[in-house]
Amino acid sequence: MDKVQPFLLLYVPCPTKDVAEKIAKNLIQKKLAGCVNIIEGMTSVYEWQGEIEQADEVVLLIKTLISQKKALELFIMQEHPYETPCIIHIDNASANDAYFEWISRTLDC
């Protein structure tokens, strides 16, 4: 049985599919992520500047190595159109050996 290997999973909502695709492709091209899932059809309800807001969003699920965390977060902060983008990372995520080895090879680590 494979042992689990630590990696990083990030949850990042985006305003449109175009924005999500641009960020996802750049993350892969820059080898900051091994795989990015784009999930459409989410509605967010939140308070912003004292008002209750509702918006359709597209979610990125970004899979990478923990060693990429800082660079990946900086990249998203620079490229994301939101003033305060949501970047939730799950540091204690784990992956099976085969997936961990694939993502490590993909990111040249």
Domain extents in the chain: 4-106
Closest-CA residue to 32 (of 71, 5, 61, 66): 71
The string of pLDDT tens digits covering residues 36-53 is 999 999 999 999 899 999
Q: How many CB atoms lie within 10 A of CB 75?
A: 17
Give the integer Cα–Cα distance in Å for 72 and 26. 11
Position 1 scores a pLDDT of: 44
Position 91 scores a pLDDT of: 77
Position 79 scores a pLDDT of: 96
Q: Which fold has domain 4-106?
A: Alpha-Beta Plaits (3.30.70)
Position 6 scores a pLDDT of: 72
Low-confidence ranges of the chain (pLDDT < 70): 1-5, 92, 109
